[in-house]
């Protein structure tokens, strides 16, 4: 049997300590141990993107990341994006452009969109579609998702603020 290991994560800006089995997936730490059920699990094959969160500021699939791999890291989930009184531009985009139907994929799509806009604040439609390759939506046909991301990009450039959220880490450097 593998021993439980001590892990410290900063989730949505709050430091959390956990005792976890090495095989625990980050998505289960978030959902089951921390009660952050906005992050979803939609597949077993790392393809649907419903589990996408930001790890040190970059969009990753939390079903394909071990909690122990994230030890010491900053994690942002959809709960950390914004709330009803203060929507993140991406959330506002989904609201305004009707970017969801059942909503199952939405948290993952929004986190992926945040990761995309961080590196490419003014994406073309094609770049948005390519950037969202790693998320699957079974309802919308993606049209309104693309419009929602376009809205967020426009809104952000008007405001002159970065789409990054509080916990976003530094980019890669050479």
- Cα(7)–Cα(20) distance, rounded to whole angstroms? 7
Nearer to other proteins, 36 or 60 (CB): 60
Min separation Cβ 131 and other proteins, Å: 5
Min separation Cβ 42 and ligand FAD, Å: 13
Show contacts with ligand FES in window 23-82 (CB under 6 A): 41-43, 46-51, 61, 63
Q: Is 47 in the site for ligand FAD (CB under 6 A)?
A: yes
Of 47, 168, 62, give the one whose Cα is nearest residue 114: 168
The option from other proteins, ligand FAD, ligand FES, none interacting with 105 (CB < 5 to 8 A, set by class) reads ligand FES
Q: Pairing mode, if any, of strands 14-20 and 74-76?
A: unpaired
DSSP3 helix / strand / coil % (the chain, rounded to 5): 35, 15, 45
Min separation Cβ 50 and ligand FAD, Å: 13
Size of residue set near ligand FES by CB under 6 A: 22
**8 A C-beta contact, residue 109 and residue 135:** yes
């Amino acid at each position: 049997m593998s021993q439980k290991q001590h892990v410290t994560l900063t989730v949505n800006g709050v430091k959390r300590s956990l005792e976890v089995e090495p095989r625990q997936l980050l998505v289960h730490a978030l959902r089951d141990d921390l009660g952050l059920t906005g992050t979803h699990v939609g597949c077993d094959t790392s393809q649907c993107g419903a589990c996408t969160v930001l790890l040190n500021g970059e969009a990753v699939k939390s079903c394909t990341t071990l909690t122990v791999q994230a030890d010491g890291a900053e994690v942002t989930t959809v709960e950390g994006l914004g709330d009803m009184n203060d929507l993140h531009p991406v959330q506002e985009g989904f609201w305004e452009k009707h970017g969801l139907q059942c909503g199952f994929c939405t948290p993952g799509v929004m986190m992926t969109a945040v990761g995309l806009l961080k590196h490419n604040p003014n994406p073309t439609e094609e770049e948005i579609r390519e950037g969202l390759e790693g998320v699957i939506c079974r309802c919308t046909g993606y049209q309104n998702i693309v419009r929602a991301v376009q809205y967020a990009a426009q809104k952000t450039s008007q405001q002159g603020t970065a789409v990054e959220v509080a916990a976003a880490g530094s980019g890669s450097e050479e």
